[in-house]
Amino acid sequence: MKWLMDALASSVGKKFVMAITGFLLCGFLAAHLAGNLLLYVGAEEYNGYAHKLHSQEELIKIAEVGLILLFGAHIALAFRTSRDNKSARSVPYQMKVSKIENPDSPVRAETWMFVSGAMVLGFVLLHLADFTFMVRPDIDYSILEGQEYQKAITILKTPISLAIYIVGCIVLWCHLSHGVASAFQSLGINHPKYNGLIKWGSRLFAAIIGIGFLSFPIWAIFQK
Given a contact cutoff of 8 angstroms between Cβ atoms, the answer to whether 192 and 218 are in contact is no
In this model, does residue 24 exceed pLDDT 50?
Answer: yes
Given a contact cutoff of 8 angstroms between Cβ atoms, the answer to whether 168 and 216 are in contact is no
Q: What pLDDT digit, counting tens, does each position of 133-177 carry?
A: 999 999 999 999 889 999 999 999 999 999 999 999 999 999 999
Average pLDDT over the chain, rounded to whole? 87
Domain layout of the chain by residue ranges:
7-86+103-221
Residue 99 has what pLDDT? 44
* Long-range Cβ contacts of 19-22 (<8 Å, 24+ apart): 19/182, 19/183, 19/184, 19/186, 19/187, 20/187, 21/70, 21/71, 21/73, 21/74, 21/77, 22/74, 22/179, 22/180, 22/183
CA dist 72 and 50 (Å) reads 26
Given a contact cutoff of 8 angstroms between Cβ atoms, the answer to whether 33 and 213 are in contact is yes
Residue 95 has what pLDDT? 46
